[in-house]
Structure 1
């Protein structure tokens, strides 16, 4: 199944149509607040906590000078493991700029959502200063996570009301209300030969919003 980009101006007889929209988000009845930065009126939030897990090595199998296939070990780099993750989505609205038609995006409770949202680094404790701030300590305590000083990365992402995002899902009409819901079958991105990309199947409502960095 392939998706297409279109406006909301679909015939009234259409009951289901797989579509892709790029538009502004508008909160529904239950807006979200980001976990750490406390950003209000969001339609999607995610917070990821990483802990230091040691050093690793970059492995290369090519020697670009000689063309040989021998394995080489490059510079060491820090390895991080995901220690905690939380993601939330809520129902929200999008509006067609041309027709003014409004649709409810069913991304909330019990909906399968695939978020393509970049997270930004919010907290970065360093080797010379591993102290946990009072704000981070409170956040950790509220989630029953260890609060001792250590190397941490905390990343957070969100889609705030009024920002532009891309929604891919199934457009339906029920009782004169347009809704975008997760598709019953997988959606294929099709093959993009110019970018050398093979088809990828998605089996949920797609929300795409790039990172701020």
Structure 2
């Protein structure tokens, strides 16, 4: 379903995702056939040498490492069957409105798993036993439904969605709990 969204932008709602020429694999969970992956490593925020919360719970997490990748992919409208190529790959600005799932949260009393140690070593990150860390991962795989906001173009009979040349305003969409905001790039939302 194509819905007008601004002057030259469009919004595809509830479309099915399929991989393009390249598919991605998530960094930690190794989920295959992804079109977008995000892995975030956070460490507990500290004041001086003391942990913010003495019970090994952290109230403030600081982002220390981020991996975000997107590839070109196809979306298919569930009702009309129309298919469009979303140009989200190489050097494209993508605004993901996707929540990452917390996969690992460590405390001072637990040892790091061998999988987590290996993941940290592959990225030349410290694997100190005493630190409080949280690993989060999010992804979009084939078959998922999502909304895409971008510029619709038709070339040689094929539909393509590109990022806008300048930031676009969402306006106010109260039914979607979307307050006015400006986005610079293709917007992906689950």
Alpha-carbon contact 1:94-1:104 (below 8 Å) kept: yes
- Partners in 2 of 1:18 and 1:192 — Cα distance? 15
Q: 1:102 to 1:197 in 2, by over 3 A?
A: closer
Deviation at 1:156, TM superposition (A): 0.3
TM (norm. structure 1) is: 0.77
TM (norm. structure 2) is: 0.85
Whether 1:6 and 2:21 are equivalent positions in the alignment is no
Q: 1:197 to 1:165 in 2, by over 3 A?
A: closer
Alpha-carbon contact 1:40-1:160 (below 8 Å) kept: yes
Unaligned ranges ≥5, structure 1: 8-15, 58-75
Q: Residues 88-129 of structure 1, C-alpha deviation per residue, up to 9 Å, x if partnerless?
A: 000000112233221100000011111111000001112321
Deviation at 1:138, TM superposition (A): 0.6
Q: 1:196 to 1:109 in 2, by over 3 A?
A: closer
- Partners in 2 of 1:195 and 1:180 — Cα distance? 22
> Which residue in 2 is equivalent to 1:35?
27
Larger radius of gyration: 1
> Which residue in 1 is equivalent to 2:135?
154
Unaligned ranges ≥5, structure 2: none
Whether 1:51 and 2:43 are equivalent positions in the alignment is yes
- Equivalence map 1:72-151=2 (5 Å): 78-129=59-110, 131-149=111-129, 150-151=131-132
Residue 85 of structure 1 aligns to a residue in which SS?
strand
Q: CA-atom RMSD, angstroms?
A: 2.4
Q: 1:195 to 1:106 in 2, by over 3 A?
A: closer
